[in-house]
Amino acid sequence: MTDPQPLLSLRGVSTHYGAIQVLRDIDLEIHAGEVVCLLGGNASGKTTMLKTILGYVVPTRGEVLLDGRRITGLPTQRLVGLGVSMVPENRRLFKRMTVRENLEMGCYLRNDSEEVAKDFERVFALFPRVRQRFGQRAGTLSGGEQQMVAMARALMARPKVLLMDEPSMGLAPVLVEQNFEIIREINEQGTTVFVVEQNATMALSIADRGYVLQTGRIVLSGTAESLLSDQRMRTAYLGEL
């Protein structure tokens, strides 16, 4: 990539849980306007990478940069204000609150009520179902609807970069496909997206670039096409022999 300054980058990041090293010397770059995916099996360190970016855990070495600014060690609640939003694994909606209240939590820090109103319209256009369920408690929605609300909630912060943790988890195959189409649409509207996924085929079908994580180390990276055609990739993740 020739772009001088990535939107979000990790430089030499290592993260430990106590004595156990989970991430080893990670270098990763996400440029504005891209969809980047992070692939990897169970326990490869995918979620920890997100947690490190979001400040839930502090890396033992290396740094995380947002727009060239060092955000390593910043408290989590500061990041949404800087333009980093997350769709957590398993949605994790505020189940006892209404859809409306969930979305309002998404723009908790924003004061620009006119712009917020526009963003409500924007997410309604993306997810018509969210409008239908607006007054309903989030816990009563179906899994697919919850995923939509989780994405809508994250978008309400009007993020520069959207982090998504396993958006396909627990969804029916039809819904997974829909889901990824919406992710692509979100990206086309100008939001940079970083998707962490196990479903490599699906993720690579919409991504510009991808990284493959194995036991805490990036073992493979490149454009989506190059990864899709990579022999190691095909055997390990795409289920071909």
Partner 1 sequence: MTTVVEAPAAAVGSRVVMIGLVGGAVAVFVSANGMVEAFSERELLDGLTLGAVLLLSIPLLVGYVAGRRQPELEGFATRPPGWRNPATGLLAGFISGVTIGAFVLLIATVDLRGVLLNVTPELVRDDPRILTFGLEPGAGAGLLVGLFAVLGGLAGAIQVLPDLWRRAVLAAVGWVLAFGLMQAVVSQVLRGLQQQLRIWTEPLADFLYDTSGALSIAGITVVAVLGFCLQLLGSRKPRALVNARLERLTDRSRRIVRVAVLAAALLLLGLLPQVLGSFLSEVLNIAGIFLLMALGLNIVVGFAGLLDLGYVAFFAVGAYTTALLTSPQSSLGVGWIFWLAVPFVVLAAAVAGLLVGTPVLRMRGDYLAIVTLGFGEIARLLFLSDWLKPTFGGAQGIIQVGDITVGPVGVRTPQAFFYVIFVFVLLAAYATYALQDSRIGRAWMAMREDESVAEAMGVDIVTAKLSAFIVGAVLAGFGGALFATKIGSVFPHSFNVIVSITVLVVIIVGGMASVPGVVLGTMVLVGLPELLREFEEYRFLIYGALLIFMMLRRPEGFIPSKRRAEELHEEEIAQDEWLKTQDTGSRPEPGSRPEPGSRPEPS
Q: How far apart are CA 140 and CA 200, in angstroms?
A: 30
Token pair listed for 203 = 């993720």
Q: Contact residues for partner 1 (CB under 8 A)?
A: 54, 56, 75-81, 85-86, 88, 92, 94-97, 101, 104-106, 108-109, 137, 139-140, 153, 157
Least CB distance from residue 101 to partner 1, whole Å?
7
Q: Give first-to-last CA distance, the chain, whole Å.
A: 31
Least CB distance from residue 182 to partner 1, whole Å?
20
Beta strand 161-165 pairing with 192-197: parallel
Least CB distance from residue 118 to partner 1, whole Å?
19
The beta strands (E) that lie in the chain are given as: 8-17, 20-30, 35-39, 61-66, 69-70, 84-87, 161-165, 192-197, 209-214, 217-223
Token pair listed for 171 = 């969804």
In whole angstroms, how far apart are CA 122 and each of 109, 203, 205? Answer: 18, 24, 25
Between 45 and 106, CB nearer to partner 1: 106
Between 74 and 213, CB nearer to partner 1: 74
Least CB distance from residue 3 to partner 1, whole Å?
27
Between 26 and 86, CB nearer to partner 1: 86
* Helix/strand/coil for 210: strand
Between 17 and 108, CB nearer to partner 1: 108
Between 80 and 218, CB nearer to partner 1: 80
Least CB distance from residue 94 to partner 1, whole Å?
4
